[in-house]
Amino acid sequence: MLQDFDASRENAFFQLFQEYFDLEKDVGKQHDVANYSLDRLIPLAAAAGNPEKSLKLIHVAGTKGKGTTSYLTGALITASGHSCGVFSSPHLDTVRERFQVDGRLSEYDELEALAKPLCAEIRSRGLHPSLFEIFTVLALQYFQAKDVEYVVLETGIGGRLDATNYPEEKLVTAITPLSYDHMALLGNDIRQIAAEKAGILRRNTPVVLSRQPYPEGEATILQKASELQAPVLRPDTTCDAASWLPAGAPPYLLENFQSAWRIVEVLGLQPDRAAFRPPRLRARFERIRENPPVVLDAAHNGDSARRLAEAVAVCYPGCHFVCVLGSVPGKDVSGIVEGLKGMDAEFILTNPETPRGSALPQLEEAARKAGLKIRAVLPTLVSVEQLPSGEPILFTGSFFTALIGEKLFHV
């Protein structure tokens, strides 16, 4: 949240990594197959002292719900009386969000104390990792320094060649629902995408497999699990997820909780209901105002947009929304538009608030082609006065579009 952000401290922290910004902020390089590799991780981890070897790792991949499942898993582990770190991406306001222990954000001083010697060692060895690769290893160093028992790693992109997949030993892996995303790296076929995600599996290591929307994708994962003799477990649909989450949680969040519950069961842990603190799931059907409703959701592919439209219909029956929609380059804007087409809504198209760029021209073209009711196209959205007053509003299409809603409504 914005109160966790200190501009001077944030800038000073990122200045330590100035020469590694290219693969984090340049979308073209970030999605370049030539840069998508684990080759740089082994020497990088060695430079950091291989912190992964002292930690109990849970690894979560997927297209939809992997971040939510990671946060819920961490909260349940903490409620079981064990310390747990969660490494996730991207951050919305502050880099501190990426490195959390027992639901608390890291401190700038703690991160800098580890980052400075790590960067010095990287330079002394002549290594050239990406910023995300450094952050992955830095996270494990941080969790080791905090003496946590368990660590949940959320993949960045894909799985097989994602930086978070370099540790060999894991206690359990999990794959949330798959869809079409990052296709330049992962492939245009759901079986190719599934094979990349299944790359996080390890021999004889249990995998919790969420309900999959594409049977051929699920079959690919099951085949890989069979080859590795990795036991396949399904989300625990018998747990009373609704009683653990805030009232009115949409169906897909309940499914994420069931996956997290199963992960914790595999670990042999028993969460204490009284000790459980639901994590703040930013931009995951996050309701920041109720009358009239303002909802933030980071749905950024076709299937997640469809599930969002279903959730709105269930949670707000008969309610007409104004949907603020913005997307970043590389996303399936046509799929997002198709997923939202069935909503009772008018649309305001805009640019997400991010240096990664915007897909507004493609989004507008897809929206007009699909026949969406476009209320306005606002390249810059900086004031609530630009929005209709007294009407329900939904911000979606990207985490960075949801961030506009946070700022406008002072969350």
- Got the DSSP string for 251-310? HHHHHHHHHHHHHHHHTT----GGG------TTSSEEEEETTEEEE----SHHHHHHHHH
Q: Using a pLDDT cut of 90, give the percent of the chain over it.
A: 85
Q: Identify the pLDDT of residue 34.
A: 57
Q: Identify the pLDDT of residue 182.
A: 58
Instruction: Give the H or E element holding residue 174.
Output: strand 172-175
Q: Identify the pLDDT of residue 185.
A: 63
CA gap 252, 236 in Å, rounded: 14
Radius of gyration of the chain (CA): 21
Least Cα distance to 150 among 67, 243, 263, 277 occurs for: 263
Classify 28 as helix, strand or coil.
Answer: helix
Does 33 have pLDDT greater than 80?
Answer: no
Q: Identify the pLDDT of residue 27.
A: 45
Does 279 have pLDDT greater than 50?
Answer: yes
| Domains, in order of start, for the chain | 2-275 (3.40.1190.10), 286-408 (3.90.190.20)
Q: Using a pLDDT cut of 70, give the percent of the chain over it.
A: 93
pTM of the model: 0.92
User: 355: pLDDT confidence band, cut at 50, 70 and 90?
Assistant: confident
Angle, to 10 degrees, between the axis of helix 360-370 and the axis of helix 333-340? 40
Encode burial over 261-300: b for 16+ CB neighbours within 10 A, e otherwise: bbbbbbbebebeeeebeebebbbbbbebeeeebbbbbbbb
Does 128 have pLDDT greater than 50?
Answer: yes
Does 21 have pLDDT greater than 70?
Answer: no
CA gap 147, 83 in Å, rounded: 8
User: 4: pLDDT confidence band, cut at 50, 70 and 90?
Assistant: confident
Does 31 have pLDDT greater than 50?
Answer: no
Q: Identify the pLDDT of residue 411.
A: 66
Listed in sequence order, the DSSP H helices in 26-177 are 27-30, 41-47, 66-79, 108-124, 131-145
